[in-house]
């Protein structure tokens, strides 16, 4: 069973995809996210990076539609989203599949220079792309960057994502990685 803190964080995550704030996720939300990220990186719709990004988001949508859309109306409500995540967080294999895809997406789309690290500036771009004010990057990134080297590596981000999903300590830095919830 999800804790109240997990529900709040997952609701925040839901809102990051729900760009038009209508309280439901639909195919168009994922299509818009691809366009926004591609525009941010100036990738043409024919570029290999765009095609990979599009494939990743469409796969994510199809998985959500198959596993979360229990009403089969081609919409994901917040209740369906929370039920879906309750199942994902209770299954290590499903969790790992989802996190690995998320981490790869973050680095493909936001690691501009391909150095295998996410900077504070790149984190701000991630927040902006997901409908969160980039101003939060300057507030949260120093807390996320525990070793103070100015970057997040894939390994560090894997741990932060894990802590975001599972930590019930409201003061844990990972719980604010996407701004206030």
pLDDT tens-place string over residues 80-120: 999 999 999 999 999 988 888 778 877 878 888 888 899 99
Q: What is the predicted pLDDT for the residue at 31?
A: 94
In-domain check, residue 178: no
The count of structural domains within the chain is 1
Structural domain harbouring 32: 4-171
In-domain check, residue 129: yes
In-domain check, residue 181: no
pLDDT at 152 over 80: yes
CA distance linking residue 66 with residue 60, whole number of Å: 10
Kindly indicate the confidence band of residue 23, based on its pLDDT and cuts at 50, 70 and 90. very high
CATH number where 133 lies: 1.10.238.10
pLDDT at 68 over 80: yes
Q: What is the predicted pLDDT for the residue at 181?
A: 80
pLDDT at 64 over 90: yes
CA distance linking residue 178 with residue 135, whole number of Å: 11
Q: Which of 2-16, 40-54, 137-151 has the lowest mean pLDDT?
A: 40-54
Greater model confidence, 49 or 152: 152
The DSSP bridge partners found for residue 119 are 151
In-domain check, residue 179: no
Half-sphere exposure of 145 (CA within 13 A, CB side): 17
Residue range 22-46: mean pLDDT, rounded: 93
Taking CB atoms within 8 Å and a gap of at least 24, the contacts of 8-15 are 8/181, 9/164, 9/165, 9/175, 9/181, 10/81, 10/82, 10/85, 11/78, 11/82, 11/181, 12/178, 12/179, 12/181, 13/178, 14/78, 14/81, 15/131
| 148: its two tokens | 């103070």
CA distance linking residue 181 with residue 177, whole number of Å: 10
What is the distance in angstroms between the CA of the first residue and the CA of the last residue of the chain?
19
CB contact burial 59-89 (16+ within 10 A = b; e otherwise): ebbebbbeebbeeeeebbbbebbbebbeebb
Closest residue by Cα to residue 70 from 86, 83, 58: 83
């Amino acid at each position: 069973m999800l804790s109240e803190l997990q529900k709040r964080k997952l609701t925040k995550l839901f809102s990051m995809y729900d760009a038009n704030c209508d309280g439901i996720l639909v195919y168009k939300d994922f299509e818009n996210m691809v366009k926004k990220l591609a525009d941010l990186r100036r990738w043409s719709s024919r570029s290999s990076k765009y095609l990979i990004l599009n494939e990743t988001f469409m796969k994510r949508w199809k998985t959500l539609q198959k596993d979360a859309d229990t009403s089969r109306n081609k919409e994901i409500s917040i209740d369906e989203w929370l039920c879906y995540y309750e199942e994902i967080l209770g299954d290590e294999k499903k969790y790992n599949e989802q996190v690995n895809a998320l981490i790869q997406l973050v680095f493909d789309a936001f690691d501009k220079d391909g150095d295998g690290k996410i900077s504070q500036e790149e984190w701000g771009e991630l927040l902006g792309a997901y409908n969160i004010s980039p101003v939060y990057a300057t507030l949260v990134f120093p807390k996320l960057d525990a070793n103070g080297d100015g970057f997040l590596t894939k390994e560090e981000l894997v741990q932060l994502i894990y802590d975001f999903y599972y930590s019930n300590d409201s003061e844990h830095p990972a719980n604010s990685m996407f701004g206030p919830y």
